């Protein structure tokens, strides 16, 4: 058994920044399914929204976020995050992140993305996530209070309710079970505080911009432990993922459209002006639906992003990694248009937290894409995601450092005395492929009641099969991820069925209009025993 003050699940920006803000006073463990660099944060290209520009203001950033969120954002949270955005950028700069500067005065260079009315995206060329993660990983590796467990995956959380402890007045997280992928052994981790920073669930879809680790683990574990989840129906599809047989998930940054790139049909005609007055700078949900409609209407495999009106030097200076990646595939984006398609990109819903990042379960926190804070509403504004990680990591760290709770509860070891080795792994592979395909077809950019019903029927059947497999055979990384993906898929579909309107990222042909009443979708597990959630008092609860 391991014993830590804080265990952090995930090695993206949310996890690493929280770890560094706690490590001087706490003994920290970071659990990473693969290597530290394997996270959606590492892949992020665009940048981090900030009101640090003289041309910007908190009020304008708040307004842009609320508009993008289709009236479902928590304005108090939006304002708090926006007000703290300059400090978040400064924290990274102080840590050593070399943001792109303006050549004339060495001030921060800001770019613009869809849904933003001004330039407010601080960035490091077009590899912001990689640059930030590289700096933070070096600090993590050199800190004596941080222990890293790479190639480990969390099986489940250990809570006082699961152990039926009578002395705990509120369901409390006491630790977790962790599988070592290299040895196959499951170890018990005892912790005073556990932080879910495991990212989103976009691998539930066939086409995604996310790395393979984005399997909704934190959301599924929190649900099984008794946490409520909110707005799971709002899955953001990034409009422009590179369409090429040798690339499955390379993102073409929205910043290209911020710098003038134009979406076009194969006949070289622009089309976004037909869907929104903002044309190519419309929010992601509008752009993704427009592309999806044009592709289905015309039987297209993709559409094209045209940057050829910009000089080669400008493109290579502003988007060096995108230029080089495309050039390796024999696409010179200074001369040729880029073939693109929408792909699942970001989970706007997640585990409900308060302003400190704490969930319904005591001493269990959620930070980053795993969490629902109220910031994103029905559609995330571009580059608000990394900002959310930084602001809420600060909030969680302060709250944890002020919390003096310490437990010495004896936790049970993992028991696999009644299971055997799996005789056939084909069930896992087959189920994984089936799940991702029907989620893409039935619960994608455009939805119908019939499609959602079919998806739920298949999910229920597959969950029974996988649960039987889980009970009888020794667990593996793939089995744990599949179990979590099926749980998250169920929550996405259940939330989509509950929303009888079209709003933001949820578009239903059966309910094409937006309702006057503004509702967030809250799903409550049967084993929930916490107090009623205090935030979003003005918003009704669907379930």
Rounded (5°) CA angle 387-393-395: 105
Contact between residue 313 and residue 286 where contact means Cβ atoms under 8 Å apart? no
Look up residue 187 and give its two tokens: 């170890």
The stretches of 381-445 forming alpha helices (DSSP H) are 385-402, 426-442
Contact between residue 190 and residue 13 where contact means Cβ atoms under 8 Å apart? no
Look up residue 11 and give its two tokens: 């090695």
Contact between residue 313 and residue 320 where contact means Cβ atoms under 8 Å apart? no
Contact between residue 352 and residue 318 where contact means Cβ atoms under 8 Å apart? no
Rounded (5°) CA angle 262-267-270: 30
Q: Which of 385, 367, 364 is nearest to 376 (CA)?
A: 385
Q: Which of 127, 130, 156, 93 is nearest to 13 (CA)?
A: 130
Sort strands 121-122 and 110-111 into parallel, antiparallel or unpaired.
antiparallel
How far apart CA 163 and CA 268 sit, in angstroms, is: 63
Q: Which of 273, 209, 264 is nearest to 237 (CA)?
A: 209
3-state secondary structure of 98: coil
The stretches of 366-503 forming alpha helices (DSSP H) are 385-402, 426-442, 449-472, 477-498
Q: What is the DSSP letter of 158?
A: E
| H/E run at residue 350 | strand 350-352
Contact between residue 323 and residue 334 where contact means Cβ atoms under 8 Å apart? yes
Neighbours of 200 (CB within 10 A): 29
Look up residue 200 and give its two tokens: 């989103």
Contact between residue 154 and residue 176 where contact means Cβ atoms under 8 Å apart? yes
Catalogue the active-site residues.
284
Contact between residue 287 and residue 272 where contact means Cβ atoms under 8 Å apart? yes
């Amino acid at each position: 058994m391991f014993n830590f003050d804080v265990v952090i699940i995930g090695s993206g920006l949310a996890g690493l920044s929280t770890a560094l803000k706690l490590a001087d006073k706490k003994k920290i463990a970071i659990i990473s399914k693969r290597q530290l660099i394997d996270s959606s944060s590492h892949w992020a290209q665009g940048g981090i929204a900030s009101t640090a520009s003289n041309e910007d203001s908190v009020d304008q950033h708040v307004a842009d976020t609320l508009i993008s969120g289709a009236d479902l954002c928590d304005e108090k949270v939006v304002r708090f995050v926006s007000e703290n955005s300059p400090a978040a950028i400064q924290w990274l700069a102080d840590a050593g992140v070399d943001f792109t500067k303006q050549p004339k005065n060495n001030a921060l260079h800001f770019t613009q993305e869809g849904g933003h009315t001004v330039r407010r995206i601080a960035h490091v060329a077009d590899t912001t996530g990689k640059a930030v993660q590289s700096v933070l990983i070096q600090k993590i590796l050199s800190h004596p209070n941080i222990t890293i467990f790479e190639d480990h995956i969390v099986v489940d959380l250990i809570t006082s309710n699961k152990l039926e402890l009578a002395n705990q007045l509120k369901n409390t997280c006491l630790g977790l079970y962790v599988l070592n992928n290299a040895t196959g052994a499951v170890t018990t981790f005892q912790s005073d505080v556990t932080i879910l920073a495991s990212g989103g669930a976009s691998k539930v879809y066939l086409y995604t911009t996310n790395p393979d680790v984005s399997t909704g683990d934190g959301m599924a574990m929190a649900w099984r432990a008794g946490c409520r989840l909110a707005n799971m129906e709002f899955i953001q599809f990034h409009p422009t993922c590179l369409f090429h047989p040798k690339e499955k998930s390379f993102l073409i940054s929205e910043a290209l459209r911020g710098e003038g790139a134009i979406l076009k049909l194969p006949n070289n005609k622009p089309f976004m002006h037909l869907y929104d007055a903002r044309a190519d700078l419309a929010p992601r949900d509008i752009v993704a639906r427009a592309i999806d409609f044009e592709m289905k209407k015309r039987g297209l495999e993709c559409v094209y992003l045209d940057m050829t009106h910009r000089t080669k030097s400008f493109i290579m200076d502003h988007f060096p990694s995108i230029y080089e990646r495309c050039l390796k595939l024999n696409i010179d984006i200074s001369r040729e248009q880029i073939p693109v398609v929408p792909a699942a990109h970001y989970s706007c819903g997640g585990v409900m937290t308060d302003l400190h990042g704490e969930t319904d379960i005591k001493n269990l926190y959620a930070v980053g894409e795993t969490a629902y804070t109220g910031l994103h509403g029905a559609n995330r504004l571009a580059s608000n995601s990394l900002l959310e990680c930084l602001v809420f990591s600060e909030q969680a760290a302060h709250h944890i450092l002020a919390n003096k709770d310490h437990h010495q509860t004896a936790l049970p070891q993992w028991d696999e005395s009644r299971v055997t080795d799996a005789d056939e792994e084909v069930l896992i592979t087959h189920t994984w492929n089936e799940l991702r395909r029907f989620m893409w077809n039935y619960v994608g950019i455009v939805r119908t009641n019939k499609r959602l019903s079919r998806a739920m029927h298949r999910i229920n059947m597959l969950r029974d099969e996988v649960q039987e497999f889980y009970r009888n055979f020794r667990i593996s990384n793939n089995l744990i991820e599949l179990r979590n993906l099926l749980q998250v898929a169920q929550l996405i579909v259940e939330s989509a069925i509950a929303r009888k309107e079209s709003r933001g990222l949820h578009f239903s042909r059966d309910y094409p209009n937006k309702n006057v009443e503004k509702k967030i979708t809250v799903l409550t597990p049967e084993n929930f025993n916490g107090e009623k959630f205090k935030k979003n008092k003005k918003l009704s609860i669907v379930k």
